Structure 1
Amino acid sequence: MESIENVKYCHVGIEKDKSFFFDHVHIVWNEQITIHQSNDWELSYVIIGSGTRVVGDNMETFSKGEIILLPPNLAHGWYFDENVHDKHGKIENITIIFPDSFLDKCANTFPELVSCIKSLKGITKGMSLKGELLSSIQRLMYSMTLQNNLEQLTTLLQIISHISSNTDMQVVGFRERQSRNADKLQEVHRYMLTHYHDKITLDDVAKYVGMNSSSFCSFFKREKGTSFFTALNEYRIKCSCIMLQETSMTISEICAAVGFNDIPYFNRTFKKIMQVSPKEFRSNTN
């Protein structure tokens, strides 16, 4: 996976008869663009699929239904699980991208939008929509798949109005470049993301970030307050939870898919972290 210093800068071409970009896709899980950033705003809705999301300095699992608002110049990427898809083997999502100049033009043209635009521009971190706000924006974004250009514009203005006047959101990521430790920790996160299903040794991850094993252990404990392998197991269990909820894979298949090679150890670790067994978790959530 790319280092944050090698993040791709992406420019999306907006058609001449539109003022923003709207994309509704059904694609194979690994066709999603890797970590990138742009000068535009982005609203991303995952309809089918799950995996791991990287936004700025934050890495965490996600599942279907989430909507994330991203301000300009914030590195991000969605890494989908190959086991979670529709009957055609594909994921589905909707992405809306609009430039900052679009917001400026709206504010300059329509006085009614000035306060909305000002409020939206106050958002400087990645935000995850929650509660009733999430439900309403899900409906609005999906309705755009059946609309013409003018109808889509009207709906986007509704979306901006809803988001700017609602606090039902949670921070999911931001970027702090001033810290060398933040860069190093992000490299660790990326190694964990791409190798969690493999057998990982301390030497492997330490070498990846350019440290010896002893220095790496001290660094990770100091930055995260826990050991690397404790954090790795917690991440593996989070991934297994998604698979238990959204796939028909057996528990032994999931155990192997998230990097455990011993089912009793997987079961013990799962129960320690989730307070229930994998079987009970699947039963309670389905």
Structure 2
Amino acid sequence: MEEMITPYELPEIKDHSFFFIDQRIATHIEAKLHKHDAWELYHVIHGHGNRIAGDTLQPFSAGDVVLIPPSMHHYWQYAPTSADNDGCIHYLMVAFSHSLITRCIEVFPELRNRLTSLTFPVNALKYGLESSRVICKMLSQMNDMDDLGRLSAMFRLLPVIFNSSDHILAGKPMQIERDVRRMQQICAYVMAHYVHTITLNEIASEVGMNRSAFCSYFKRCKKMTFSQFVTQYRLNTACELLKHSQKQVSEICFAVGFNDVPHFNRVFKELQGMTPKEYRKRNI
């Protein structure tokens, strides 16, 4: 698993204080599980898939805006079928060092007044609809600006992303490096094998533990059983397929690892509060 977590250096841009990119690339080119010493503000324009951030595995889709803290392992895994007609996905991303914030606070009283009493988040955050709308607009405007215009826009962007209360948890850092590697190995295994039955013996063996120790470890780290985790991941994937594909409910049931349509419908309604067909109608 060591080789799966890649220290990643953002491209150095001469005479710039932060990194901004409007990226359209093929899904297989996107960086694998990695970390870097910078805040990352990421806006998905086209594409969907699954994201690892710290200890958390979540689906993502177009329109999502996420803030990932420095040194947190993360991976945006785009579904190949979510690419556009040119085979590309599309996102906007701003990455900036924490020292940029502290230097600006020292130099500019106007920014200091907005940020000086702030406690910076240690968790990855996914912004809600209203904050996402504001941030998306600001990032899109930055895309059409020259360097000085982007710097001015950055001064306006920082208070928005750090003062917003309109967000949910998208990932927690894991303090113990061994646990980081182990939990991300578990997430990667689930992402690769969720279509099939994953036994406790298989996943325990994958991470070098016996079954009993694995169950205790996983419950301690995730506050749920491994079976609950896999079920939730399958349902999250099913939700994305219901929103982004024309597959029948029965097809989706088997595509995400359930072997019985009535059972799938029952579990889906129990955890989502509605049937798969109702969910699709509400999200079309």
Q: Please indicate, yes or no, whether the TM-score normalized by the shorter chain is above 0.5.
A: yes
> What TM-score does the superposition give when structure 1 sets the normalisation length?
0.86
C-alpha change, 1:279 and 1:165, in structure 2 (3 Å) is closer
Match of 1:23 in 2: 21
Q: Secondary structure at the match of 2:133?
A: helix
Identity %: 33
C-alpha change, 1:221 and 1:127, in structure 2 (3 Å) is closer
Displacement, 1:253?
3.4
Deviations 1:175-230 (A, max 9, x none): 23248666544432332123212342332212101123344344434554544223
Contact persistence 2:4–2:32 (CA under 8 A): no
C-alpha change, 1:261 and 1:96, in structure 2 (3 Å) is same
Contact persistence 2:18–2:97 (CA under 8 A): yes
C-alpha change, 1:168 and 1:225, in structure 2 (3 Å) is closer
Q: Secondary structure at the match of 2:58?
A: strand
Match of 2:108 in 1: 110
Instruction: Give the letter aligned to residue 45 of structure 2.
Output: I
Match of 1:250 in 2: 248
**Structure 1: stretches of 5+ with no match in the other structure:** none
Task: Answer yes or no: is 1:216 the counterpart of 2:194.
Answer: no
Instruction: Give the letter aligned to residue 270 of structure 2.
Output: K
Match for 2:264 among 259, 263, 266? 266
Contact persistence 1:116–1:160 (CA under 8 A): no
Q: Secondary structure at the match of 2:41?
A: strand
Q: CA RMSD in A?
A: 2.6
Instruction: Give the letter aligned to residue 163 of structure 2.
Output: S
Contact persistence 1:53–1:79 (CA under 8 A): yes
Deviates more, 1:70-79 or 1:98-107: 98-107
Q: Secondary structure at the match of 2:80?
A: coil
> What TM-score does the superposition give when structure 2 sets the normalisation length?
0.87
CA distance in 2, matches of 1:119, 1:66: 28
Deviations 1:1-32 (A, max 9, x none): x45x8521111123224221111112223322
Contact persistence 1:84–1:247 (CA under 8 A): no
Deviations 1:41-99 (A, max 9, x none): 21111112222221112222222212112222121111222333334343211111112
Instruction: Give the letter aligned to residue 78 of structure 2.
Output: F
**Alignment coverage as a number of residue pairs:** 284
Task: Answer yes or no: is 1:134 the counterpart of 2:132.
Answer: yes
Deviations 1:213-269 (A, max 9, x none): 344344434554544223212210111101101222333432333223443443333
Instruction: Give the letter aligned to residue 133 of structure 1.
Output: S
Match of 2:79 in 1: 81
Displacement, 1:121?
6.7
Match of 1:191 in 2: 189
